[in-house]
Amino acid sequence: MKSLITTASERKRPFFPQIALVWRIIFGTLFVITLLLGGFTTLKPVVVLPRITLAPGFNLVDQTGAQISNEQVRGGIALYNFTYSGCIDDCPQTTPLMAEVQARVAQLETGGIPVKLVTISIDPEHDTVEQLAAYADAHNADPDIWRFATGSPMQIKSVIGGGFSTYYTEKEGKIKFDPAFMLVDGNGILRAEYRTAVPDTAIILRDINLLVEEAHNSTGPQKLAYEAAHLFLCYPD
């Protein structure tokens, strides 16, 4: 009789450990997924720059008198800044940094992706094509990399003020502006803003490299990893 009772209890017992096993596996799987997601967001195997918004459209003229538009720049990475040729003394100096980036960009391995610099004048009434040509020469601008743009005051306002949300104004003949640099990717999407007169050139170059890597790698199966990086805000520190 004793053995009979034992056998009956053994028949029932296995059921509970098995159910517990199911739960262990469920929680184990969820734990592993959480761990993977946590690891992805912490370790950041893929780092991206945020897709902030669309960069503005424009149709201006450059220092050679040729047309320069956002559609011409599309397909390559572009760094923009906004200043004017008369910005000399009491004025945020952003052009020297563009000159430095120009020198460094020439040494970058981009795998065929063009990197361009565009300086848009915030004083179009004085910055004529000739004036910009002289200004470009003074800063050793290579016209294949670095172009200077001007246009009508309304066009300029819509691009810099409306599109790049950068403030500038003229009061009593004196121009005041918020110094800013904007990095735009090949799809015409604004990817980084540097709202200071002297951002770190190394950071700008790091960001250009991130865009180059993304352009080369974010196709096919790797696209999912890049989308996940955007979702989990895997931005550079």
Query: Where does this chain bind other proteins (CB under 8 A)?
Result: 3-4, 6-7, 10-11, 14, 18-19, 21-30, 32-33, 37, 50-59, 67, 69-71, 154-155, 158-159, 162-163, 187-189, 227-228, 230-231
CA distance 147 to 119: 6
Q: CB-wise, 137 or 227, nearer to other proteins?
A: 227
Which is closer to other proteins, CB of 114 or CB of 186? 186
Q: How far is the CB of 188 from other proteins (least distance, A)?
A: 5
> Which tokens hold the place of 219?
């196709």
Residues 6+ apart with CB under 8 A from 207: 49, 183, 191, 192, 236
Q: Which residues contact 146 (CB under 8 A, 6 or more apart)?
A: 98, 102, 116, 117, 118, 119, 136
Q: Considering beta carbons, is residue 71 or 100 the nearer one to other proteins? A: 71
**Nearer Cβ to other proteins (124/131):** 124
Distance, in Å, from the CA atom of 181 to the CA atom of 197, rounded to the nearest integer, reads 8
DSSP 8-state code for residue 186? T
Smallest gap, in angstroms, from Cβ of residue 55 to other proteins? Answer: 6
Residue with tokens 């063009």: 114
Residue 63 Cβ vs other proteins, minimum distance, rounded to whole Å: 19
Residue 221 identity: P
Minimum Å gap between C-beta 140 and other proteins is 29
User: Least CB distance from residue 180 to other proteins, whole Å?
Assistant: 15
Min CB(18)–other proteins separation in Å = 4
Check if the beta carbon of residue 59 is closer than 8 Å to that of residue 163.
Answer: no
Beta-strand relationship, 115-121 and 77-83: parallel
Q: Which is nearer to other proteins, 56 or 135 (CB)?
A: 56
Name which of 42 and 107 has its Cβ closer to other proteins. 42
Comparing CA positions, the residue from 25, 114, 16, 15 lying closest to residue 72 is 114
